[in-house]
Protein backbone atom coordinates (compact mmCIF):
# COMPACT_ATOMS: atom_id res chain seq x y z
CA UNK A 1 0.00 0.00 0.00
CA UNK A 2 1.34 3.50 -0.83
CA UNK A 3 1.33 6.34 1.68
CA UNK A 4 -0.90 9.32 0.95
CA UNK A 5 0.29 12.90 1.53
CA UNK A 6 -1.95 13.22 4.60
CA UNK A 7 -0.75 10.09 6.35
CA UNK A 8 -1.60 6.45 5.93
CA UNK A 9 -4.54 5.45 3.81
CA UNK A 10 -7.52 4.44 5.91
CA UNK A 11 -8.43 0.80 6.04
CA UNK A 12 -11.86 -0.64 6.09
CA UNK A 13 -12.27 -0.08 9.81
CA UNK A 14 -11.56 3.64 9.52
CA UNK A 15 -8.04 3.25 10.86
CA UNK A 16 -4.74 3.89 9.14
CA UNK A 17 -1.99 1.34 8.68
CA UNK A 18 -0.44 2.28 12.03
CA UNK A 19 -3.61 1.72 14.07
CA UNK A 20 -4.59 5.42 14.42
CA UNK A 21 -7.66 7.01 12.98
CA UNK A 22 -7.41 8.36 9.43
CA UNK A 23 -8.17 11.95 10.49
CA UNK A 24 -4.63 13.18 9.89
CA UNK A 25 -1.08 12.86 11.12
CA UNK A 26 -0.10 11.89 14.64
CA UNK A 27 -1.97 13.63 17.46
CA UNK A 28 -4.03 15.98 15.23
CA UNK A 29 -0.95 17.82 13.90
CA UNK A 30 -1.16 19.29 10.42
CA UNK A 31 1.14 17.88 7.75
CA UNK A 32 4.25 19.95 7.01
CA UNK A 33 2.95 21.22 3.64
CA UNK A 34 -0.24 22.66 5.09
CA UNK A 35 1.57 24.11 8.12
CA UNK A 36 4.10 25.80 5.84
CA UNK A 37 1.32 27.21 3.67
CA UNK A 38 -0.52 28.56 6.72
CA UNK A 39 2.71 30.11 8.03
CA UNK A 40 3.38 31.72 4.65
CA UNK A 41 -0.16 33.11 4.42
CA UNK A 42 0.15 34.44 7.97
CA UNK A 43 3.49 36.12 7.19
CA UNK A 44 2.12 37.66 4.00
CA UNK A 45 -0.98 38.91 5.79
CA UNK A 46 1.18 40.47 8.51
CA UNK A 47 3.39 42.11 5.88
CA UNK A 48 0.34 43.40 4.03
CA UNK A 49 -1.11 44.89 7.21
CA UNK A 50 2.22 46.56 8.03
CA UNK A 51 2.45 48.02 4.53
CA UNK A 52 -1.12 49.33 4.75
CA UNK A 53 -0.33 50.97 8.09
CA UNK A 54 2.77 52.62 6.63
CA UNK A 55 0.77 53.85 3.63
CA UNK A 56 -1.89 55.26 5.94
CA UNK A 57 0.75 57.02 8.06
CA UNK A 58 2.34 58.55 4.96
CA UNK A 59 -1.01 59.77 3.65
CA UNK A 60 -2.06 61.28 6.97
CA UNK A 61 1.33 63.01 7.31
CA UNK A 62 1.01 64.45 3.80
CA UNK A 63 -2.51 65.74 4.39
CA UNK A 64 -1.60 67.10 7.83
CA UNK A 65 1.26 68.98 6.18
CA UNK A 66 -1.17 70.53 3.72
CA UNK A 67 -3.44 71.54 6.58
CA UNK A 68 -0.54 73.15 8.45
CA UNK A 69 0.52 75.05 5.32
CA UNK A 70 -3.06 76.22 4.81
CA UNK A 71 -3.30 77.33 8.43
CA UNK A 72 -0.04 79.30 8.18
CA UNK A 73 -1.18 81.06 5.01
CA UNK A 74 -4.54 81.74 6.70
CA UNK A 75 -2.76 83.33 9.65
CA UNK A 76 -0.74 85.50 7.24
CA UNK A 77 -3.99 86.54 5.55
CA UNK A 78 -5.41 87.48 8.94
CA UNK A 79 -2.33 89.58 9.73
CA UNK A 80 -2.71 91.38 6.39
CA UNK A 81 -6.37 92.15 7.09
CA UNK A 82 -5.62 93.29 10.65
CA UNK A 83 -2.85 95.57 9.38
CA UNK A 84 -5.19 96.88 6.70
CA UNK A 85 -7.73 97.66 9.40
CA UNK A 86 -5.14 99.72 11.27
CA UNK A 87 -4.29 101.64 8.10
CA UNK A 88 -7.97 102.28 7.38
CA UNK A 89 -8.49 103.56 10.91
CA UNK A 90 -5.40 105.78 10.72
CA UNK A 91 -6.53 106.99 7.29
CA UNK A 92 -9.96 107.78 8.65
CA UNK A 93 -8.32 109.68 11.47
CA UNK A 94 -6.31 111.77 8.98
CA UNK A 95 -9.41 112.27 6.85
CA UNK A 96 -11.33 113.42 9.87
CA UNK A 97 -8.48 115.78 10.71
CA UNK A 98 -8.53 117.06 7.11
CA UNK A 99 -12.22 117.96 7.28
CA UNK A 100 -12.05 119.50 10.70
CA UNK A 101 -11.78 123.26 10.74
CA UNK A 102 -8.30 122.99 12.29
CA UNK A 103 -6.45 122.85 8.93
CA UNK A 104 -6.79 121.78 5.25
CA UNK A 105 -3.15 121.49 4.19
CA UNK A 106 -2.73 117.75 4.85
CA UNK A 107 -3.45 115.04 2.30
CA UNK A 108 -1.53 112.18 3.94
CA UNK A 109 -4.61 110.01 4.40
CA UNK A 110 -4.65 108.95 0.74
CA UNK A 111 -1.39 107.11 1.29
CA UNK A 112 -2.91 105.25 4.24
CA UNK A 113 -5.94 104.25 2.20
CA UNK A 114 -3.77 103.10 -0.70
CA UNK A 115 -1.66 100.98 1.66
CA UNK A 116 -4.82 99.53 3.21
CA UNK A 117 -6.11 98.62 -0.26
CA UNK A 118 -2.85 96.87 -1.13
CA UNK A 119 -2.97 94.88 2.13
CA UNK A 120 -6.60 93.92 1.53
CA UNK A 121 -5.70 92.56 -1.93
CA UNK A 122 -2.74 90.62 -0.50
CA UNK A 123 -4.94 89.29 2.32
CA UNK A 124 -7.62 88.17 -0.14
CA UNK A 125 -5.06 86.33 -2.28
CA UNK A 126 -3.53 84.67 0.78
CA UNK A 127 -7.00 83.75 2.05
CA UNK A 128 -7.91 82.07 -1.25
CA UNK A 129 -4.65 80.12 -1.24
CA UNK A 130 -5.27 79.06 2.36
CA UNK A 131 -8.83 77.94 1.61
CA UNK A 132 -7.63 75.88 -1.36
CA UNK A 133 -4.87 74.24 0.72
CA UNK A 134 -7.26 73.42 3.57
CA UNK A 135 -9.79 71.93 1.14
CA UNK A 136 -7.13 69.66 -0.35
CA UNK A 137 -5.88 68.54 3.04
CA UNK A 138 -9.09 68.03 5.00
CA UNK A 139 -10.04 65.60 6.34
CA UNK A 140 -6.74 63.78 6.78
CA UNK A 141 -8.04 60.36 5.75
CA UNK A 142 -5.68 57.76 4.26
CA UNK A 143 -7.78 57.28 1.13
CA UNK A 144 -5.20 55.27 -0.83
CA UNK A 145 -4.64 52.91 2.11
CA UNK A 146 -8.39 52.41 2.51
CA UNK A 147 -8.75 51.71 -1.21
CA UNK A 148 -5.87 49.20 -1.12
CA UNK A 149 -7.40 47.48 1.91
CA UNK A 150 -10.76 47.21 0.15
CA UNK A 151 -9.09 45.73 -2.94
CA UNK A 152 -7.21 43.25 -0.75
CA UNK A 153 -10.38 42.30 1.10
CA UNK A 154 -12.25 41.80 -2.18
CA UNK A 155 -9.48 39.59 -3.58
CA UNK A 156 -9.47 37.51 -0.39
CA UNK A 157 -13.23 37.02 -0.67
CA UNK A 158 -12.83 35.90 -4.29
CA UNK A 159 -10.29 33.28 -3.28
CA UNK A 160 -12.56 31.85 -0.62
121 in any annotated domain: yes
| Whole-number Å distance between alpha carbons of 160 and 158 | 5
pLDDT tens, position by position, 10-50: 444 444 444 444 444 455 566 788 888 888 888 988 888 88
9 in any annotated domain: no
53 in any annotated domain: no
92 in any annotated domain: yes
What global pTM score does this model have?
Answer: 0.46
39 in any annotated domain: no
134 in any annotated domain: yes
114 in any annotated domain: yes
**Minimal CA–CA distance to 137: which of 83, 47, 80, 73?**
73
75 in any annotated domain: yes
Mean pLDDT across the chain: 75
- Expressed as residue numbers, the domain containing 100 is 58-141
Say how many domains are in the chain.
1
Amino acid sequence: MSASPLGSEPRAGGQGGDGRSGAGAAGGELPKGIAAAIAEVSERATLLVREEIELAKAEVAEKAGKLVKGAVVGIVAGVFFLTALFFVLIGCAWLLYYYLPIGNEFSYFWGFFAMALILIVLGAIAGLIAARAVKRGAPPMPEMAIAEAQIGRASCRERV
